[in-house]
């Protein structure tokens, strides 16, 4: 156990300042018995707590707390069983560690697109991946989860054991248990390679605006992996957006995403339309180890020529609609997981992000993001391209902004799945222990 001081602050650190809270103490359990004892203790004392895997959430109290902070840092490992074609991953592991461990083995998994994201949070929230077009969501590839129940009991959940709980965990976040180990099926082909996008700490799927610049990152898993950053000026936004839409509407190759290709041979002209748009900088084709440096260098060089945007006080912003094929979620049925409650057709994840340094502006930006999200939903509803709220599935929970409460949980899971999840909650968590932790609550 660690108390106030440098060690505590480091253990409680998160990706964004907006999601950090100062806990009373940090506990780093190393066994199921440790976690069981902690859960029983906070349950008896009704102490607020949080469980942190990777700490990549942008929402306060989702994996941070002013009470007892449970760090899963000791559950940081990736064990490949090549014979069974499965991978067991500790719930405190980040995706960069998973991919590094699997590099060169010929195996890979359906995992996060950002190296800093934790395995448990991304997976239990659904989990869109570079491999989703071909293999579905991360939760669709879960085989079993080692867990600790709110009463302190260690057990497992799978399609054949605690099946209702397994359903609820797949997209149900921290409502039911504390996860320890996630066993997943491999998702690879004999000629595919480690996804090099996760070797670099600078990786983005969708267009990102940094000041007046637009970034796209491209990775090709060829026998000699290569990649790079394409940096466009804001003047090219319309051209880039049009190219993204054209790609999303016409692409039929499940190995391709924007901008990623998972295969030994890149089809001719697969991404040609992106490369013909004039760029501020283009370092595609360089060694993977230089991507972090080159991406930062290109971005800073461009920012020197755009002072007006800094005056607006939002040095980094992103409004991204992430395109996936309509067949992407056909690998499983809606009844197999809490999220998404509707799989055909799929609605594309949308992410609204503002990066700023003045904490006094939290309320203003929170309001702005909520309004932008509401506007997107209203436009989609007007065009009849979103599901009824009772069906759910219109909002990707890993990207949702905290503060919308019950309205959002209906959007995540739909009324039918929400009813089933509540039944599981009453059986697994009758004393409400897991409600002492923050997050999206059933």
φ and ψ at residue 249, rounded to 5 degrees: -80, -25
DSSP assigned state of 374: H
Q: Can you say how many angstroms the Cα of residue 367 is from the centroid of all Cα atoms in its chain?
A: 23
Whole-number pLDDT of residue 435 = 95
Whole-number pLDDT of residue 315 = 55
Whole-number pLDDT of residue 287 = 44
CA torsion, points 128, 131, 136, 137, in degrees to nearest 10? Answer: -30
Helices in 314-384 by DSSP H: which ranges?
A: 362-382
Whole-number pLDDT of residue 361 = 81
The gap between the terminal CA atoms of the chain, to the nearest Å, is: 30
In terms of DSSP bridges, do strands 350-355 and 316-321 run parallel, antiparallel, or are they unpaired? antiparallel
Q: Is 305 exposed, middle or buried (0-12, 13-18, 19+ CB in 10 A)?
A: exposed
Alpha-carbon gap, residue 254 to 135, rounded angstroms: 9
DSSP string for residues in 288-325: GGGHHHHHHHHHHHHHTT-HHHHHTT-SEEEEEE----
Whole-number pLDDT of residue 194 = 34
- What averages of pLDDT result for each successive group of 10 residues across the chain (442 residues)? 61 69 89 96 96 87 90 92 89 91 85 87 92 91 94 95 97 92 65 32 32 51 58 83 86 85 78 87 55 35 33 58 83 92 80 77 81 78 67 79 70 91 96 94 90
Whole-number pLDDT of residue 245 = 83
Whole-number pLDDT of residue 226 = 56
Alpha-carbon gap, residue 305 to 146, rounded angstroms: 52
Q: Is 26 exposed, middle or buried (0-12, 13-18, 19+ CB in 10 A)?
A: buried
Whole-number pLDDT of residue 285 = 60
User: Taking a C-beta distance cutoff of 8 angstroms, is the pair 187, 141 a contact?
Assistant: yes
The length of the chain is 442
pTM of the entire predicted model: 0.82
């Amino acid at each position: 156990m660690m108390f106030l001081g440098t060690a505590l602050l480091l253990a409680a650190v998160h990706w964004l300042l907006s999601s950090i809270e100062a806990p009373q103490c940090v506990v780093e359990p190393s066994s199921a018995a440790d976690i069981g004892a902690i859960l029983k203790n906070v349950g008896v004392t009704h102490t607020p707590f949080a469980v942190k895997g990777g700490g990549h959430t942008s929402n306060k109290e989702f994996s941070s707390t002013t009470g007892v902070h449970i760090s899963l840092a000791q559950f940081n490992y990736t064990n490949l069983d090549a014979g069974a074609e499965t991978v067991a991953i500790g719930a405190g592991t980040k995706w960069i560690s998973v991919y590094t461990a699997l590099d060169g083995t010929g195996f890979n998994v359906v995992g996060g697109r950002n190296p800093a994201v934790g395995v448990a949070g991304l997976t239990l929230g659904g989990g869109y991946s570079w491999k989703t077009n071909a293999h579905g969501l991360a939760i669709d590839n879960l085989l079993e989860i080692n867990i600790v129940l709110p009463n302190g009991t260690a057990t497992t959940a799978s399609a054949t054991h605690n099946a209702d709980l397994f359903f609820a965990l797949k997209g149900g976040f921290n409502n039911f248990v504390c996860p320890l180990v996630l066993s997943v099926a491999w998702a690879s082909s004999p000629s595919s390679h480690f996804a090099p996008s996760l070797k670099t700490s600078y990786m983005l799927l969708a267009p990102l605006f940094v000041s007046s610049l637009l970034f796209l990152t491209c990775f090709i898993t060829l026998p000699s992996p290569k990649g790079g950053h394409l940096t466009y000026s804001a003047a090219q936004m319309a051209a880039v957006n049009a190219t993204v839409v054209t790609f999303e509407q016409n692409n039929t190759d499940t190995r391709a995403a924007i901008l990623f290709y998972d295969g030994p041979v890149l089809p001719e002209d697969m991404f040609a339309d992106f490369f013909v748009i004039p760029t501020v900088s283009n370092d595609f084709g360089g060694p993977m180890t230089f991507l972090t440096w080159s991406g930062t260098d290109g971005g800073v060089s461009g920012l020197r020529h755009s002072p007006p945007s800094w005056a607006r006080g939002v040095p980094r912003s992103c409004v991204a609609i992430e395109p996936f094929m309509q067949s992407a979620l056909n690998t499983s049925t809606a009844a197999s997981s809490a999220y998404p409650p509707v799989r055909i057709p799929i609605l594309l994840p949308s992410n609204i992000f503002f990066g700023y340094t003045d904490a006094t502006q939290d309320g203003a930006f929170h309001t702005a993001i909520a309004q932008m999200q509401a506007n997107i939903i209203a436009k989609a509803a007007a065009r009849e391209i979103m599901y009824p709220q009772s069906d759910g599935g219109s909002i990707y929970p890993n990207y949702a902004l905290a503060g919308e409460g019950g309205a959002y949980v209906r959007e995540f899971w739909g009324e039918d799945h929400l009813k089933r999840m509540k039944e599981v909650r009453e059986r697994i968590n009758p004393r409400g222990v897991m409600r002492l932790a923050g997050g999206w609550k059933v």
